Structure 1
Amino acid sequence: MLFAVLGPLEVSHDGRSLTPTAAKQQSILAMLLLTPETVVPVPRILRQLWNEDQPVNARKSLSWHVSRLRSRLGGENRLVWRDGGYAIDLTGADLDVRRFDLLTRRAARLRHDPEQSGRLLTEALELWRGPAYGNLTTIPGIRTEAQRLEELRLKAIEDRCDADLALGRHQDLIAELSTLVDEHPLRQRFLHHYMLALYRCDRQAEALQAFRSGRSRMVDEHGLEPSPSLHRLHHDILNRAVVLDSTPAPSVTTAPSAPAELPADTVAFTGRTAVVDRITDWLTEPSSVPPVVTVSGLGGIGKSAVAVHAAHRVAARFPDGQLYIDLHGGTPGMSPLAPGEVLARMLRSLRVEVRDDPTIDELAALFRSATSSRRILVVLDNARDGEQLISALPGSPGCAVLVTTRTGSIAMRPDRHVRLTELSHNESVGLLTQLLGDDRAASEPTAIDRIAGSCGGLPLALSLVAARLNLHPGWRVERMARKLDERRLDELSGPYRAVRSTFDVTYRCLIATTRGRAAARLFRLFGLFNAQDAQTATIAAIAGVDIPTAEDLLDQLVQCQFVDNPSGDRYRMHDLVREYARESALRIDPASQRQAALTRGFDGYLATARTMGHPGASPIDQTLTGWLNEEVGSFSAVVKQTADCSPERVPPLVAALSRLLYSHGHWQLLVELAQLAVDIAADGEPGPLAIAMRDLGMAYKNLKRIPEALDVLTRARDLTSRHGLVAERVGVLGGLGNVHTLLKQHDEAVAALTESRDLAQAIGNVHSEIATLISLGLAYHFGGRNDLALTTQQAAADLADRHGHLRSLAAAQGNLGYLHQRTHRYDEAVAAFTASLEVLRANGLTGTLPEADKLWGLADSRHAQGHTASARPMWDQAARSLHTLNLITLSELTEILATTPPPMPNPLWPG
């Protein structure tokens, strides 16, 4: 059976059409084909099918359409029901999108063979019968996928034109490219190909006119200048540059004075497209001095592969030769080349005879003379320091130099410096797939994903794993994934290279000086701390040094690529580097020092969390929100490590974090941490246990897990009663009252919240009194007592304003807005929501859950007033904030952006 979406939706089997004729059935099938073998929930299908016009019997109608569709496709096996939704099983079937993806991936791997690559791309493009999904793109999710596929189609055409030009088929391309340039004026590769094809057909004037027309259109209509590569092509066409000829000039391949020393390009080169484009632009841009481009990065990150790949891309622009030298600045077991040896090797490659015993300066002068007035590319791979480089630079502006190094500080031109980071997960999977072959990778996709994660985006690690698997074709990929889970650094080794040995080289350089040894100690101790990244203050505490000293030591670690500095005050390690640092600490540092370092780190973390989370500490501002956004990814790992090393610190740490996690919408994480705190506190004092149970119950409540919330908060209430825990009881009763409100148990809610308020007043806890008043006002409202609801909510707002509790003030004002809205007093609602938003934004709470909540209320109120145009951007901004906070899915965001008025997202529902 063949499913085809690269054009109007079609289904066929043995030459017989099975395409459904009903529009709703076509739409359902298309939605399932977006993500084959993946369940699409029924609510999502209903929203996409009917938008806001969903009929009362929508689910019944959907079931009928699915039944008809099943019959059309041949029974139950093709469309399956699972986990509250439908999925399509493509076992034994073909989908043209998959065939297109496979052919274009194979073509990319054969880019060095234009005949084969062009044939595969032609075959891929022949699968297209018209715009993807035909007339079904009115459905938002399908429209997004159709746009993605159209982008891939145009790129495939560009790549096929590349292959045709390489094969000398410029004459055949002109008519096609003329149309493509007209239809896609912003796709500059089409214009590039068109100009080159015209020039190679001896139509220089038309090629130049094509550039002028294209540039005029880009500037006049879009305010954009053509890319540097287009300007460069225009310059070359104007000057009839030899490099534009369809066959290389004889001097490139036959002249004895033109060395061609570049290593073979990497066949399985994946990702890095933007980086390679930047490097090639820098190497070939017109300049009065030779461009010097530096590529730096961690050992094993793929610097050499990127440099060689970029060098091959521009080799034809340097017809007088390409020199390549491995300087061995980071090669295990080898000494770095001395500057004199570097120069001597390059002079020998250029057939320059060296007499007597010249000095470094004399050799450098000979090299500059030999490269004068010539166009030579020099690749200096694996440099240790600037001393290896400074004398090896040519003097002719026609030459260019490409350097790779582990130390970014030796970049000759800081503005021509690229620091490589790890491959993305998808790029890692792509590289493994290329190295192992499509069939083997596709047979165990879960294991491939696990291996990609274990290798942390390090190309060296991925290549070593693939080499091991290719050496053992009988192994399951799962076996290798399991080995990496058990002993990652030990497995990432080979007969000639190992990830550990590349780190060893850098570490030995680091400990060669007294200052470096101090940095190495900080490196080892920081590696013990289970956080994705950390602030300077936390790292200083771990190492037991002051912050200025920590900054100095961290700078050394950044220079040698052991540590990244993603933002001004934060530092992170690559996963494999952290494992190496931890190994080193276990080998070198005594257990007592390791434990003391972790204890200092935990205590520093707790102190910061308490400062940030204290309700009366300071106004809610960007410092708090920024710290939370930066640290939240590490909370789980840090708390679990604290539980292993210092369990008594877990309850206070979670209590300090809970207010921040709760107010910023990180409820699932709060459930995880609060449950851990409950388990640990169960064997200790009742006070911390009651607080942990309160936090767990409130997180359950916000996740709409109401039975669990009611159970844990009821047990917490009984615990506070047995032990006379008045302060803890205030918060527990407040949470329990909220749960009763959600269960529509209004009398129980008012009773619990009234007791909570009275206890808060008795012990002088103003923050809890305000919070309870806010909840009590909502309880009155849902119990039908609106006058009491308004007066209580206003009392909460006045008390919060009087005591400077700005978050509570914003919450109370927002609740007043919703109360006015539900009684159709839209002018008062708009005023209340606007006041709430002013408080939030004045204190840095943009992009947060509270802001999204008030924005949504304001938008609904403006819509009710008839001002839908002004409401639309508010709904959109609120939805995007919720998606950024991971509180709604991409499909929910897409639906909200495409629907007017949109459905209120689940995280904002009052119950």
Structure 2
Amino acid sequence: MAHIPGSEPQPRIGLTAARMALDKSQQEIADELGTTHVNVSRWERGITKPNPYFRRKLCKLFGKTEAELDLVVVPASAPTATPPQSVRVDVAPTLPVTDPLPDLNELALYDPAIPLQPAIQLVGRDGDIARIKQRLCAGGNVALTALNGLPGVGKTALSIALVHDPDVREHFRDGILWAGLGPNANIPSLLSRWGTLLGISQTEMAALHGQEDWAKAIRSSIGLRTMLLVIDDAWDLMEALTFKVGGPNCAHLVTTRFRDIASHIAVGGATELQELSEEESMTLLRLLAPGVVEREVQKAQTLVQAVGGLPLALTLMGNYLRKQGYSGQTRRITAALERLGKAEERLHISEPHGPVETHPSLPGDMHLSLHSVIAVTDQLLSSETRQALYSLAVFPPKPNSFSEEAALAVIDCDVDNLDLLVDSSLLEYTASGRYTIHQTISDYARQHLQEKKPHEQLINFMIELVEGHKKDYELLDLESNIILRALDYAYELDMKEELVRAVIAFVPYMQARGSYDKAAQHLQRAHEAAKALNDTDNIIATLIYSGEIAQQQGNFGQAESTFQEGLKLARQVENKIQISALLHNLGWATWKQGELKQAEVYLQEGLNLARQMEDEERICGILKVIGSVATHSGRYEQAEVHLQEGLNLARQIGDHEQVCLLLINLGVASAEQGKYEQAEVFYQEGLILARQSGHRERIGALLANLGDAVIEQGDYAKAEEYFREGLLLTRQIEHREWMSVLLTNLGLTMHKQGEHLQAETHLQEGLSLARQIGVPQMTAYALYECGNFYLDQRNISVAETTFREMLKVIPEVCQDLIALALYGLARTSSFQENYDEARVLGEKSVTILEKMGHRKASEVRQWLNEVRA
């Protein structure tokens, strides 16, 4: 009862004394009652009187009667009998003018159906709550707000947090109504309950016929009150709209898993709840099962990734782990984690619930699990749409995505089924125009997929895509994970012909992206399949690619052996195209191992065959290698002739990959002659092409060479920038050859800049890698730079040992490297004051270099003149 103006309020001594006896503050009492400390203060001072609901709660809290708490004292002027208060006193102009207005905070109506707040705080939703609160409290059409998202994403949990939020309750001061609908909503019962709560009499309710009458009666009862109406888990648009009965001061919050319902209801756009981030997921899991998570962090992270941050999945797993790990027994924790590591087990981990905690989507006797929450939507789909959902499980799940074309090829039905799955939140349509399927939905669908046809359709679709777009690396980047999944399916289903076709078509892309180990694994499978099919051409093709992969990993001996095996087969079947390709690769492998003469024999035979067949792409490739061999033999003029011929031909046929490679080798030929500016021009053009195609090996090579060119021009900072970028890239793809070169060059750059400790670290790592790879020229180059470093550090004995080792590993045909080793030894002799020996070694070095026209010739000549002086 409110205070009557003109009368003095009488403090409730009994109520105040009861609180103080418990040693509690007004705020603490308010928190326990679900009200504000302002109301408690006003009750104790006698300014207002709590309604029957709060009076009952006060008596229960203090264990006293209303009389003992001074709650039944009335003013003397009041009548002896007071009519009982209803749950809600309507604020309407029907009260006598002399009567006071009731206290709105005190008489707020909170629907008993509102779920209790969970014991664990809501994680990762602060931003969503803030945005939705702002919309709900904005008034007008904006206050009609909808939440949607996939099953288990936490729509209801967020709504529960909102209705218990103090700011929301303060704004909606007249109360909150809650209706949980679900797929089988009892609309008349829910309307009747709201009517009762709002004070509609039994007589009035008996006269209501149909939902329209009920809606009008409820709206009339709400009147001008400021209330929030929550319509949770709507499955039908008209059912949701039936509960849109608030007055002008009300807001409505609708939750639904159906995008079309949410978009229809929310005038300003629905809020689609997203899954939790990995960090937020770990926080939630840690709150639920702290002991297990702290003990098995890595396994917990694996579980988080497996369920894609879905709050329901995390909650069920966390509760299960907490129950299994309470005793601390390692055996039980290990078994629990192993169980959750299986998709089928995760789907069926369930929890019982009390009769008032039933999930609105589930029948009262059904336990809550991922499977049950997803299945209730699945069961409402048509058989065709349901089968489409199951078929989409062949795609790798989120964060991967797939095109509509690929989806239609797999589900083998019309696009309407995809739209229905999107509307049901079982499938997501991304901003990039592609689809993605959440991990838990994919796990569910996979459990129900019985036939192999979708797998076969995916394999065939991806074969056609790869064969038709071999060099469209941007497209293949988008589809790469799906293609790899298709390769696995072809292997698992023993589809040998399809496996061989797919692997051979896709390996060039894997080479371009530096996925050498993965390529080697699939090539081995394809090789075995080709042998089983007795398919000689494809046996040879898999050997060619396997040798190239070994070569790219720096295993040149293994590469040569593989190419020789392929060449033997190719000669037997007289396949000239493959013979030429194998001779090309053998030339490269033997050159890398220092066998320049044998390399030229292979390359010349391969070039002759390519010219006979007018295979222009192969001609370009072989000319590129022949030019490189000539460069490293000191025959620069001849090298440039071969390389320019190849470049012109590559430009004519529009082969950008060959153009890029030929530009690299032309740059090397120019740099070896000291034409650094010209070399830089070649490298920069090549780098543009390499970046366009995203070919990481070539980008790394070009960055190494560019750094080498600018360091010779004295720009050490720019050189370091190139080398570090290249090193980062080659480490990612584990290309040991270019890693070695870049480490050596970076060491040289740091040495030039006076960073001697870093320089030695990089030089030694580069040398170690070169020794592992076993390429003599590469090892010799690394030794040369190490020797130079030790000379500058005046560590003469180590420098001499380094240069002597260099002489031992250099092939005889590599005259430039022999000359550089002699130059190094000449300088060590000079430091040791063996001037005669220094001059002899210097003369030998400069003679070789000047004959070749090598860039170092002038440096050695100048040094020799200084020694003579």
**1:837-856 mapped onto 2 (5 Å cutoff):** 837-839=687-689, 845=693, 850=698, 854=702
Q: Could you say if the C-alpha distance between residues 401 and 699 of structure 1 is closer, same or farther in structure 2, counting changes exceeding 3 Å?
A: farther
Contact 1:602-1:642 at 8 Å conserved across structures: yes
In structure 2, relative to structure 1, the CA distance for the partners of 1:435 and 1:599 (3 Å cut) is same
Aligned AA (1:656): A
CA contact (8 A) 1:297 1:421 kept: yes
CA distance in 2, matches of 1:887, 1:492: 45
Which residue of the partner structure matches residue 657 of structure 1? 506
Deviation (angstroms), 1:502: 1.5
Q: Residues 845, 280 of structure 1: CA spacing in aligned structure 2 closer, same or farther, 3 A cutoff?
A: farther
* Aligned partner of 2:617 among 749, 767, 792: 767
Q: What pairs with 1:242-641 in structure 2 (closer than 5 Å)?
A: 254-257=106-109, 261=114, 263-265=116-118, 267-284=120-137, 286-313=138-165, 314-320=167-173, 323=176, 325-329=178-182, 335-338=184-187, 341-353=189-201, 355=205, 356-371=207-222, 373-393=224-244, 399-411=250-262, 412-413=265-266, 415-437=268-290, 439-472=291-324, 473=326, 474=329, 476-486=332-342, 487-488=344-345, 491-495=348-352, 496-511=367-382, 517-528=383-394, 532-545=400-413, 549=414, 551-566=415-430, 568-586=432-450, 594-613=451-470, 624-641=472-489
The answer on whether the counterparts of 2:499 and 2:526 sit within 8 Å (CA) in structure 1 is yes
**1:669 and 1:378, CA in 2 relative to 1: closer, same or farther beyond 3 A?**
farther
Asked if 2 retains the 8 angstrom alpha-carbon contact of 1:296 and 1:418, the reply is yes
3-state SS of paired residue (2:514): coil
Alignment pair present for 1:797 and 2:647: yes
User: Using a 3 Å threshold, how does the CA distance of structure 1 residues 746 and 323 change in structure 2: closer, same or farther?
Assistant: farther
User: Distance in 2 between the 1:380 and 1:849 partners?
Assistant: 57
How far 1:884 sits from its partner (Å)? 8.8
Contact 1:809 1:836 in 2 (8 A): yes
Deviations 1:102-155 (A, max 9, x none): xxxxxxxxxxxx99xxxxxxxxxxxxxxxxxxxxxxxxxxxxxxxxxxxxxxxx
CA contact (8 A) 1:845 1:851 kept: no
Q: Residue 476 of structure 1: SS of its match in structure 2?
A: helix
Deviation at 1:799, TM superposition (A): 0.8
Checking the alignment, whether the CA contact within 8 Å between 2:227 and 2:246 is kept in structure 1 is no
Whichever residue aligns with residue 571 of structure 1, its letter is Y
The yes-or-no answer on 1:826 pairing with 2:701 is no
TM-score scaled to structure 2, two decimals?
Answer: 0.64
Give the Å deviation of 1:433. 2.0
Give SS of 1:682's match.
helix
- Going from structure 1 to structure 2, the CA distance change for 1:254 and 1:653 (only over 3 Å counts) comes to same
1:499 CA drift (Å):
1.5
Aligned letter for 1:539?
Answer: A
**How far is the alpha carbon of 1:407 from its aligned partner?**
0.9
Instruction: Give the alignment's Cα RMSD to 1 decimal.
Output: 4.1
Distance 1:263 1:544, change over 3 A: same
Per-residue Cα deviation, 1:799-844 (whole angstroms, up to 9, x for no partner):
1111111222233224333443454423223322343355567xx5
- 1:530: how far off? 5.9
The structure with the largest alpha-carbon Rg is 2
TM-aligned CA distance change 1:357 to 1:840, over 3 Å: same
Give the aligned partner of residue 45 of structure 1. Answer: none
Of the structure 1 ranges 289-298 and 527-536, higher mean CA displacement relative to structure 2 is found in 527-536
SS of equivalent residue, structure 2 residue 380: helix
Per-residue Cα deviation, 1:749-777 (whole angstroms, up to 9, x for no partner) = 33333333333323332222222322333
- AA at the equivalent of 1:392: F
Q: Distance in 2 between matches of 1:321 and 1:258?
A: 8
Asked if structure 2 preserves the Cα contact closer than 8 Å seen for 1:750 and 1:780, the reply is: no
What amino acid sits opposite 1:681 in the alignment?
A
Q: Is the 8 A contact 2:459 2:490 kept in 1?
A: yes
C-alpha contact (below 8 Å) 1:318/1:399 kept by paired residues: no
- Secondary structure of 1:534's counterpart equals coil
Residues 48-100 of structure 1: per-residue CA shift (max 9 Å, x gap): xxxxxxxxxxxxxxxxxxxxxxxxxxxxxxxxxxxxxxxxxxxxxxxxxxxxx
Q: Given the alignment, which residue of 647, 662, 665 partners 1:815?
A: 665
1:471 is displaced (CA, Å) by 3.3
Report the CA distance shift for 1:832/1:301 in structure 2 as closer, same or farther (over 3 A).
Answer: same
Deviates more, 1:691-700 or 1:530-539: 530-539
Q: What aligned pairs does 1:35-74 form with structure 2 within 5 A after superposition?
A: none
- Give yes or no for contact 2:513–2:695 (8 Å, CA) kept in 1: no
Checking the alignment, whether the CA contact within 8 Å between 2:664 and 2:702 is kept in structure 1 is yes
Cα distance in 2 between the residues matched to 1:675 and 1:883:
24
2-structure distance, mates of 1:871, 1:632: 34
Q: Confirm or deny: 8 A CA contact 2:129 2:158 kept in the other structure.
A: yes
The CA distance in 2 between the partners of 1:426 and 1:492, in whole Å, is 23
- Displacement of 1:387 in angstroms is 1.6
| Residue 805 of structure 2: aligned partner | none
What is the CA distance between 1:272 and its match in structure 2? 4.2
The answer to whether residue 686 in structure 2 is matched with residue 836 in structure 1 is yes
Alignment of 1:749-768 (within 5 A): 749-768=599-618
| Change over 3 Å in CA distance of 1:861–1:383 after alignment to 2 | farther
> What displacement does 1:676 show?
1.9
Of residues 465-474 and 499-508 in structure 1, the stretch that sits farther from structure 2 once superposed is 465-474
Aligned partners of 2:220 and 2:722: how far apart in 1?
66
Per-residue deviation, 1:559:
1.2
| Equivalent in the alignment of 2:20 | none
1:770–1:416 Cα change, 3 Å: same
Distance (whole Å) between structure 1 residues aligned to residue 466 and residue 538 of structure 2: 16
Q: 1:374/1:464 Cα in 2 relative to 1: closer, same or farther (>3 Å)?
A: same
SS in 2 for 1:481: helix
Q: Partners in 2 of 1:306 and 1:753 — Cα distance? A: 70
Q: Note closer, same or farther for the CA distance 1:455–1:359 as it changes in structure 2 (3 Å cut).
A: same
Q: Distance in 2 between matches of 1:375 and 1:387?
A: 24
Q: 1:325 & 1:258 partners in 2: Cα distance?
A: 9
> What SS does structure 2 have at the residue aligned with 1:762?
helix
Which one of 677, 680, 693 corresponds to residue 526 of structure 2?
677
Q: CA deviation at 1:267?
A: 1.3
Alignment partner, residue 693 of structure 1: 543
Residue aligned with 1:504, SS: helix
Partner letter of residue 526 of structure 1?
L
Between the aligned partners of 1:818 and 1:386, the Cα distance in structure 2 is 70
- Is residue 739 from structure 1 mapped to residue 550 from structure 2 by the alignment? no
Inter-partner Cα distance in structure 2 for 1:521 and 1:680: 32
Q: Is the 8 A contact 1:528 1:581 kept in 2?
A: no
Summarize the Cα distance change of 1:275–1:256 in structure 2 as closer, same or farther, 3 Å threshold. closer
- 2:486 corresponds to 1:642: no
Partners of 1:741 and 1:556 in 2: CA distance = 60
Q: Aligned partners of 1:481 and 1:772: how far apart in 2?
A: 56
Matched letter for residue 637 of structure 1: R
Counterpart contact for 2:554–2:735, Cα < 8 Å: no
The amino acid that maps onto 2:335 is R
